[in-house]
Homo-oligomer: A and B are copies of this chain.
Amino acid sequence: MSPPDSVTSPDASYPVTPVNKVKRVHERGRYDKETVHAILDAALVCHIAYVIDGRPYCTPTSFWREGEHLYWHGSSASRMIRTQKGGVDVCLTVTHIDALVMARSGFHHSVNYRAVMAFGKAHIIEDVDTKLKLMDRFIDRIYPDRSKLIRQPNKQELKATTMIGMEIETASGKIRDKHVADDEEDYEGVKAWSSLYPITQVIGAPSDCPRQLPELTRPEGMSDFEPGTRLDELMTKTYRRTFG
Q: Residue of B at shortest CB range from A197? A: B203
Residue contact A47 to B95, C-beta cutoff 8 Å: yes
Residue contact A200 to B202, C-beta cutoff 8 Å: yes
Contact residues in B for A139 (Cβ distance below 8 Å): 106, 109
Residue contact A107 to B157, C-beta cutoff 8 Å: yes
Residue contact B24 to A104, C-beta cutoff 8 Å: no
- Does A9 have its Cβ within 8 Å of any Cβ on chain B? no
Max chain B CB contacts within 10 Å: which of A107, A143, A191, A225?
A107
CA distance A112 to B141 in the complex (A): 18
Residue contact A105 to B202, C-beta cutoff 8 Å: no
Contact residues in B for A67 (Cβ distance below 8 Å): none
Residue contact B47 to A102, C-beta cutoff 8 Å: no
Residue contact A89 to B24, C-beta cutoff 8 Å: no
Given contacts A195-B208, A207-B196, contact A151 B105 (CB under 8 A): yes
- Does A38 have its Cβ within 8 Å of any Cβ on chain B? no
Residues 132-170 of chain A: 1 if any B CB is under 8 Å from the residue's CB, otherwise 0? 000110110011001101111100010011000000000
- Does A3 have its Cβ within 8 Å of any Cβ on chain B? no
Residue contact B117 to A231, C-beta cutoff 8 Å: no
Given contacts A60-B93, A60-B95, contact A199 B193 (CB under 8 A): no
- Does A242 have its Cβ within 8 Å of any Cβ on chain B? no
- Does A83 have its Cβ within 8 Å of any Cβ on chain B? no
The 4 A-B pairs with the shortest beta carbon distances in the complex, nearest first, are: A49-B58, A49-B49, A198-B204, A49-B56
